[in-house]
Amino acid sequence: MEIIRLSGYITKVPTQEKLATLEELHNSSENSYSVHELCEALSVPRGTFYNHIFRRADKSYYETEHTQLALKAKQIFDDSAQRYGAEKTRTVLAANGIRIGKRRIAVIMQELGLHSVRVDAKKLHKRKQQLKKENLLKREFSANYPNQV
């Protein structure tokens, strides 16, 4: 170990590669070294090694959940004839018992390249609302004080 340290080779190896090597050595069946010895040999703190192992477990759970949500979002999007956006997709998922934020669904839909075929729906609705408003006073009034009309 002293010769390896003096060579300076270990300092040039990226930490992620060291952690991957440590994980392989630790999980191998013919491993006769403890975690302390392995970490000391590759100059990696034990806490960093343990954090690496625990983060990978959380990441794999998140990735599986992410792929399941992507499949469900794609199914809902196709069932709606490609009309639903993130908010309506979230509402359908909530009705099925899956609570998720609109932003996360939007990110998933963006990754899958899903977007509504009716991008102008809000514009049409706003225009109709503006046309419905009537000018009841027709600007023919005189107010002497506020809130009179």
Is 53:38 a contact under the CB 8 Å cutoff?
no
79-104 tens-digit pLDDT: 988 888 899 999 999 999 999 999 99
Q: Tell me: the pLDDT tens digits for 48-61?
A: 888 888 877 666 78
Tokens read off for 1:
């170990």
Q: How long, in residues, is the chain?
A: 149
Q: What is the pLDDT of residue 143?
A: 79
pLDDT at 106: 93
**Residues 133-144: pLDDT tens digits?**
777 677 777 778
- Token pair 């956006």 is found at 85
Taking residue 19's Cβ as centre, other Cβ atoms within 10 Å add up to 19
The pLDDT tens digits for 3-47 are 777 777 777 788 888 888 888 888 887 878 888 888 888 888 999
